[in-house]
């Protein structure tokens, strides 16, 4: 793993520790499928609390994403784990028993995907934000993009042309932090990072 990758994951880990842990695990496994990781090593590498990392590894194991490859008598923090199922970029959101947490996951995945991709269509976003436990439809992605464009988070860099089958392409121009802006029922956006409210046509 490059020093730059480690630095990026460590800085992002304070906001999304599970995402940085998952990124470190998959980076290692994609280079060597037989490689193992431990909570203690990951915590040191990413600058995270060891119990936080260990708890997530236990959830991933319970959910079928990791295999514990050493005896149960070894403390969880020192145990070695191997990736069993790669769910893609987004870290599986799991409870301690390994069951998926899906509430708000689609929006969180879309917001992270926007930050990663920079420019995208609603279809691109839906595909990138979908995981094996979270499904994001193109219609949902389009609705989210449209509202964020109307409130100044996104800019349309290529207009849609239905006659030619061309979809609108958006670019993220306002990234306020790791927590996704929430579309509220009264058709306004609440930014969890700044605690501000944005309405269509205002603050753009």
Q: Is residue 92 part of a domain?
A: no
Q: Is residue 95 part of a domain?
A: no
Per the confidence metrics, is the pTM higher than 0.75? no
Question: How wide is the angle at C-alpha 199 spanned by C-alphas 172 and 174, nearest 5°?
Answer: 20
Do 153 and 173 form a contact (C-beta atoms < 8 A)? Answer: yes
Domain at 144, CATH number: 1.10.10
Question: Domain range spanning residue 30?
Answer: 3-83
Kindly state whether residues 172 and 129 are assigned to the same domain.
yes
The total number of structural domains in the chain stands at: 2
Kindly state whether residues 77 and 122 are assigned to the same domain.
no
Burial category of 171 from C-beta neighbours within 10 Å (exposed 0-12, middle 13-18, buried 19 and up): middle
Domain at 73, CATH number: 1.10.10.10
- What does the alpha-carbon distance between residue 117 and residue 159 come to, in Å, rounded to a whole number? 18
* Section 111-124 average pLDDT: 93
Q: Is residue 161 part of a domain?
A: yes
**Predicted local distance difference test score (pLDDT) of residue 74:** 77
User: What confidence tens digit (pLDDT) does each residue in 52-105 have?
Assistant: 999 999 999 999 999 999 766 777 788 999 999 998 888 888 889 998 877 788
């Amino acid at each position: 793993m490059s020093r730059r990758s480690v630095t990026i994951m460590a800085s992002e880990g304070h906001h999304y520790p599970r995402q940085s842990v998952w990124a470190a695990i998959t980076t290692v496994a994609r280079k060597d499928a037989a490689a193992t990781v431990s909570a203690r090593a990951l915590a040191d590498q990413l600058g995270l609390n060891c119990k936080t990392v260990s708890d997530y590894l236990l959830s991933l194991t319970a959910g079928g994403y990791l295999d514990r490859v050493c005896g149960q008598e070894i403390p969880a923090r020192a145990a070695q784990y191997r990736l069993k199922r790669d769910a893609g970029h987004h870290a599986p959101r799991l409870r301690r028993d390994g069951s998926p947490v899906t509430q708000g996951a689609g929006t969180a995945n879309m917001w992270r995907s926007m930050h990663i991709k920079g420019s995208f269509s609603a279809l691109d976003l839906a595909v990138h934000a979908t995981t094996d436990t979270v499904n994001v439809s193109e219609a949902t992605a389009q609705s989210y993009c449209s509202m964020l464009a109307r409130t100044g988070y996104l800019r349309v860099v290529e207009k849609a042309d239905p006659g030619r089958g061309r979809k609108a392409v958006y670019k993220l121009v306002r990234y306020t932090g790791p927590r996704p802006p929430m579309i509220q029922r009264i058709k306004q956006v609440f930014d969890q990072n700044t605690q501000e409210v944005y309405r269509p046509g205002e603050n753009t």
